[in-house]
Structure 1
């Protein structure tokens, strides 16, 4: 018996439609129709996208924001809100119902 674990399968969707962006210390994060795509601003390379496969609740990102005070990366999407905790390196998701 095989059980799926986060990161077992990675699916990349079309990330050509940019909906928002935010600047962090070393990266610029682009919210797209296919997840969040990081770009290293100094070394000039694209990182692996953050998607449902990596823990986001939805791939269509309507807004992305990096909080310089906490280091959290926030994402708003159709399913609610998610944030990436830099210490745990894990996405936490809140659905629309829990936000009401």
Structure 2
């Protein structure tokens, strides 16, 4: 439900729902990812980075998480680090696409 509120532009309501869901299932990867996106949508990069750290502690490592980290770092003013992570995201995507048999542009 929180994710739907975020998608419809109702960030505050979405965040409330996601924070409640996080209380109920603190290690649920889907809830944590949605919560991270909510913090990014509300401009709170520091809290998004905290959520990313929790995801990484739960052995979540993929290209999307690198992109979320880049966005969070951009919001916190870490522009150079954000650019490096964005480049890493692009490289990972290119590698994933090639591994799946798709040709890289």
Q: Which protein has the larger Cα radius of gyration, Structure 1 or Structure 2? A: 2
TM-score, scaled relative to structure 2: 0.24
Higher relative contact order (CA 8 A, sep 6+): 1
TM-score, scaled relative to structure 1: 0.25
Higher strand share: 1
